[in-house]
């Protein structure tokens, strides 16, 4: 695979209109997103997959800041995720997701998140396990998929 830079912010966050508002504490991030009408289901509320995607992005970034605080550059891959929907996400509401690493080590991090609306109503709670893979420096044989001999 050719060496490709990591896009920041990634397309998923741009599409959802997510914005990180706090990542000052390693292992914890806070994100906001307007509950856009484009994401509404036929019942007129935000489809759960979009709320889950918000939680996934927030939890993934919390896992990255956790590893970063240890001086490690990693990719965090979601290996499982559970989301419980607690209330409808109203179209037009400003959603806030706070994600926190509950437990982590060298290879994995277990992360939880809560999504609340602008009325402080809990919309969803999620948990996920992320597997860490070292991010190889650009141009290294590992990052380009080669063996090092050219």
If one counts every other C-beta atom within 10 angstroms of the C-beta of residue 38, the result is: 11
* pLDDT at res. 85: 97
* pLDDT at res. 147: 36
DSSP string, 79-140: EEEEEEE-S--BTTPEEEEEEEEEEE-SSEEEEEEEEE-TT--EEEEEEEEEEEEEPPPTTS
pLDDT by position in tens, the chain (length 150) = 445 555 566 677 777 889 999 999 999 999 999 999 999 998 889 999 999 999 999 999 999 999 999 999 999 999 999 999 999 999 999 999 999 999 999 999 999 999 999 999 999 999 999 999 998 765 555 544 433 332
Task: Please count the CA atoms within 13 angstroms of the CA of 70 that sit on its side-chain side.
Answer: 15
* Residues 130 and 63: beta-carbon distance below 8 Å: yes
- Which residue segments constitute the domains of the chain, with CATH numbers given? 11-142 (3.10.129.10)
DSSP state of 146: S
* pLDDT at res. 8: 63
Task: Report pTM.
Answer: 0.84
């Amino acid at each position: 695979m050719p060496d490709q830079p990591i896009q920041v912010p990634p397309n998923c966050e741009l599409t959802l209109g997510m914005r990180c508002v706090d990542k000052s504490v390693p292992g914890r991030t806070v994100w906001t997103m307007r509950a856009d009408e484009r994401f509404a289901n036929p019942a007129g509320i935000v489809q759960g997959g979009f709320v889950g995607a918000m939680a996934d992005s927030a939890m993934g970034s919390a896992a990255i800041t956790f590893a970063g605080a240890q001086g490690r550059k990693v990719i965090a891959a979601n290996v499982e995720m559970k989301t419980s929907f607690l209330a409808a996400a109203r179209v037009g509401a400003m959603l806030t997701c706070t994600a926190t690493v509950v437990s982590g080590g060298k290879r994995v991090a277990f992360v939880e998140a809560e999504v609340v609306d602008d009325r402080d109503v809990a919309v969803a709670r999620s948990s996920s396990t992320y597997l860490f893979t070292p991010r190889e420096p650009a141009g290294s044989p590992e990052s380009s998929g080669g063996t090092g001999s050219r």
